[in-house]
């Protein structure tokens, strides 16, 4: 299955059914009067967050979704049936934006969450609705109201507790494969990861979700390489694990390159808690390792971790550091929910 995290679709709610113009005609009833029923309401357009989906591939080959029109009113005061709704099922973490992509209309983060995007048109009144003491035989009925229509954009942002960032071939996929049951592609050339991946990490009796995204290179915010569009998948993370390849020429410069791309992207990524780690340390001699750690510490202004996912060195320490930050974030979020008054 292909991974698709963006889609543009057209949605339209159903038109309301027309009211009926009818009079009661029965034997021995001389003045039956009007009995035209109202039209049915058009179908709505709903968005529903469901379990079992992790991509927007369903909206790759179908982009138009229209709800059914409401039924017509009928004689004998029979109302028209309501039109069938359209329910768009999306994975957790899907944002719904307007056609230009500037305004967020809905953010579906919890399984079972439902949002009515467009309301169906109301059905028209039948002539029985217009009967009065001075107008006992009205000969008018209303047409149904038209439904709403618009183009929308769906954008998937994976829901993960921690995210991996770094240059291509920094060891992100290797780290994900070594710490989770995920099976990402691992090779000795850049850009082996072409779409984000998720894995569940278990450490010290606690679990959290780890996200891996394609590597960033200088100029990614301008579209160089694979660009920075995949950074949306780590926007919801509580902490970032910044991996720097220890075999590179200068670890400090590499770190600053990725940080510059995060700052250029914005959306709060530059302010997220960050854990810095030097990878592939099993391939370095003691003198080179010491020099690279010193360069990275000067650039990041914090003590980096030294790890090798291939050899298992320093991996548990990195996971514990991530788990600590994630747990602190959860505690603070729960405290805010208790402190803030409930709002309907």
Is position 202 annotated in a ligand binding site?
no
* 170 appears as a binding residue in the annotation: yes
Stated length of the chain: 344
> 195 labelled as ligand-binding?
yes
132 is in an annotated binding site: no
> 23 a known binding residue?
no
CA distance 117 to 110: 17
Q: Known binder of ligand: residue 73?
A: no
213 is in an annotated binding site: yes
* Residue 168 assigned as binding residue: yes
288 annotated as ligand-binding? no
Question: Binding residue per annotation — 279?
Answer: yes
172 is in an annotated binding site: yes
Return the closest-CA partner of residue 240 out of 267, 203, 219: 267
State yes or no: 282 annotated in a binding site: yes
Known binding residue 215? Answer is yes
Would you list the DSSP string of 141-182? -PPPPP--EEEEEEEE----SEEEE-STTSSHHHHHHHHSS-
Is 281 annotated among the ligand-binding residues?
A: yes
166 labelled ligand-binding: yes
C-alpha distances in Å from residue 19, one per residue of 7, 119, 213: 38, 19, 55
Instruction: Tell me the DSSP string of 218-241.
Output: TTGGGT-TT-SGGGGGGTT-SEEE
243 φ/ψ sector (left φ>0, alpha ψ -120 to 50, else beta):
beta
Asked if residue 242 belongs to a known ligand binding site, the reply is no
Query: Is 133 part of any known ligand binding site?
Result: no
Known binding residue 284? Answer is no
Q: Residue 107, annotated ligand binder?
A: no
Instruction: For residue 280, say whether it is annotated as part of any ligand binding site.
Output: yes
Beta-bridged to residue 64, according to DSSP, are 10
344 is in an annotated binding site: no
Q: Is 171 annotated as a binding residue?
A: yes
Helix (H) or strand (E) holding 201: strand 197-203
Residues annotated in a binding site for Mg(2+): 173, 193
Residues annotated in a binding site: 166-173, 191-195, 212-215, 279-282, 308-310
Residues annotated in a binding site for GTP: 166-173, 191-195, 212-215, 279-282, 308-310
């Amino acid at each position: 299955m292909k991974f698709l995290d963006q889609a543009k679709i057209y949605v339209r709610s159903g038109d309301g059914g027309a009211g009926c113009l009818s009079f009661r005609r029965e034997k021995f009833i001389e003045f039956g009067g009007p009995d035209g029923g109202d039209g049915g309401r058009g179908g709505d357009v709903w968005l529903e967050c469901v379990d079992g989906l992790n991509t927007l591939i369903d909206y790759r080959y179908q982009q138009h979704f229209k709800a059914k029109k409401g039924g017509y009113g009928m004689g004998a005061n029979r109302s028209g049936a309501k039109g069938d709704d359209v329910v768009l099922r999306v994975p957790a973490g899907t944002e719904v934006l307007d056609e230009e992509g500037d305004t967020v209309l809905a953010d579906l983060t919890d399984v079972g969450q439902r949002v009515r995007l467009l309301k169906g048109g109301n059905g028209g009144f039948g002539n029985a609705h217009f009967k009065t003491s001075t107008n006992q035989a009205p000969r008018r009925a209303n047409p149904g109201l038209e439904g709403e229509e618009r183009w929308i954009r769906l954008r998937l942002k994976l829901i993960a507790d921690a995210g991996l960032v770094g240059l291509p071939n920094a060891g992100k996929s290797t780290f994900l494969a070594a710490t989770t049951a995920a099976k990402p592609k691992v090779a000795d050339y850049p850009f082996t990861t072409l779409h984000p991946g998720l894995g569940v990490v278990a450490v010290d009796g606690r679990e959290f979700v780890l996200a891996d995204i394609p590597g960033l290179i200088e100029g990614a915010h301008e579209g160089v390489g694979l660009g920075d569009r995949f950074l949306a998948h780590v926007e919801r993370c509580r902490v970032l694990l910044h991996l720097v390849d220890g075999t590179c020429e200068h670890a400090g410069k590499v770190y600053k390159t990725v940080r510059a791309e995060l700052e250029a992207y914005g959306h709060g990524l530059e302010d997220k808690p960050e854990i810095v780690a030097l990878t592939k340390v099993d391939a370095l001699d003691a003198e080179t390792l010491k020099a690279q750690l010193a360069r990275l510490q000067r650039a990041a202004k914090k003590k980096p971790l030294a790890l090798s996912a291939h050899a298992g060195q320093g991996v548990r320490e990195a996971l514990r550091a991530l788990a600590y930050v994630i747990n602190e974030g959860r505690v603070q979020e729960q405290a805010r929910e208790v402190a803030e008054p409930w709002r309907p």
